[in-house]
Amino acid sequence: MIETNNHLLKQLSSQDAALLTPMLEHVDLKQNDTLFEPLQEIPYVYFFNGGLSSEVATNADGQRIEVGCIGNEGFSSVPVVLGAGSSPHRSFMQAGAPALRIRSADLRGAMAASPTLSSLLMRFAHVFMCQIAATALADGRYKVEQRLARWLLMSQDRLGRELPLTHDFLSLMLGVRRPSVTDALHVLEGERAITAERMLIKVRDRSRLETFAGDAYGAPEAEYRRVISHNWPA
């Protein structure tokens, strides 16, 4: 059996774990480490034991916005399991952590050999696409304060109550200027949901944060529980 804190790998059957184990390599990912670059071949898939990865879309003018995040509930490089060797997006680590990595070609070979492994990885790809869709809905239909509450809840699911998130990263996450981030943080502090320092946000009251986020948060998480595991987020 694979020794890991990755929730998805823990769902593997003993046969699938035995298939993957010889191909997995332990690595330590640091903050800002790049996982893949736009339209370049994706060499590895990473199963995170913690931390937080960020997937970012960029337009021709260099404007960026985060479209999704992944922690120990899943793996990076979703295009690989969908049969694509690259992505127009960039992915990097916002918060570092140990991970298990596998060569993309090896993972595709393992999926071809095991329908049950392929099914599990495809279900996670489905959940990640649900997250991207929920992000698009939040960006288009919810106030900045609600969107911020959603992202903080998603970050807490993966990192715990203390979130090493800078204003610059929150600006990237939400696609707004830093003054808008500062104003939104003040609103959530006023609700006694969080405390915000220069490079650290602490969740004081998750229930207040969930109330403020409303239905901007929760749909992809519910889908993960429906199609993969009832036990995440813990």
pLDDT in tens, 205-216: 999 999 999 999
Indicate whether 232 pLDDT > 70.
Answer: yes
Q: Cα separations (Å) of 192 from 174, 200, 225?
A: 21, 16, 29
Measured CA to CA, the distance from residue 224 to residue 130 in angstroms comes to 9
pLDDT in tens, 14-67: 999 999 999 999 999 999 999 999 999 999 999 999 999 999 999 999 888 999
pLDDT in tens, 150-207: 999 999 999 999 999 888 889 888 889 999 999 999 999 999 999 998 889 999 999 9
- 7 is written with which tokens? 């929730």
CA dihedral 137, 140, 146, 149 (to 10 degrees): 60
Share of the chain above pLDDT 90, in %: 88
Q: For the chain, where are the alpha helices, taking DSSP H only?
A: 14-20, 78-81, 104-113, 115-141, 144-159, 167-174, 178-190, 206-213, 219-227
Measured CA to CA, the distance from residue 71 to residue 49 in angstroms comes to 7
Indicate whether 4 pLDDT > 70.
Answer: yes
Q: What is the reported pLDDT for 1?
A: 61
Share of the chain above pLDDT 70, in %: 99
